[in-house]
Amino acid sequence: MSTPRIAVYPGSFDPITRGHEDLVRRSLAFVDRVVIAVAGNSAKAPRVTVDERVALIRQAVAHPAVEVQSFEGLLVDFARRVGASVLVRGLRAVSDFEYEFQMALMNRNLAPQLETVFLVPAFDLTYLSSSLVREVARYGGDVASLVHPAVLEALKRKYRR
Ligand code: PNS
């Protein structure tokens, strides 16, 4: 039996959107398991706790080949612990590229055997980002088509006015 191919899909997921869900589905086309890695020490100072983000992702992506874990410290150390050979990141626009390229090269420097793979989201999800979803939700806009219903409820609770 061959060793299962495991991908880590890291991020802040503040909150998880339909765009993230799309990338998880796309990843399952070329790996056996996806571990969604929720950064506890994200530079973006997330608005909800890491445990809440993990719980929402588990509801949004209920799939036997997908697990959700939080991590602290370096992503490459987490990837090594879970036995991943691939890091998945999404690329939506040219503006993503520089940051993603830097991160991929630094991660390769730290863990040469770990390959970063960039995936392009579905066309109609390309404009989507967690920060835009948060902003629209904060001012009472409709984000129902952009997030899982559990995430929508959490946003409503959070930004109830
Ligand atoms: O969704 P995000 O916020 O763009 O994800 C960024 C994330 C969490 C993947 C990145 O900040 C990260 O990997 N953090 C863990 C610490 C680490 O390994 N930093 C060095 C990356 S080169």
- Reported for 68-71, long-range contacts at CB under 8 A and 24+ positions apart, including other chains, are 68/35, 68/36, 68/38, 69/35, 69/36, 69/37, 69/38, 70/37, 70/38, 70/39, 70/40, 71/10, 71/37, 71/38, 71/39, 71/40
Strands 115-119, 33-39: parallel, antiparallel or unpaired by DSSP?
A: unpaired
Residue 27 CA, ligand 1 centroid: distance in Å: 19
Stretches in the chain below the pLDDT threshold 50: none
State the pLDDT at residue 55: 98
Ligand 1 atom nearest the C-alpha of 107 is 22
What pLDDT, on the 0 to 100 scale, is given for residue 42? 66
Is the separation of the CB atoms in 60 and 68 below 8 Å?
A: no
Identify the residue whose C-alpha is closest to ligand 1 atom 11.
42
**Distance between CA atoms of residues 119 and 23, nearest Å:** 7
pTM: predicted TM-score of the whole model, two decimal places: 0.96
pLDDT value of residue 95: 85
Predicted pLDDT at 48: 82
- Which is the catalytic residue, given 12, 130, 134, 148? 130
Q: Which amino acid is at 86?
A: V
The pLDDT score that the predictor gives to residue 2 is 83
- So what's the pLDDT on residue 47? 75
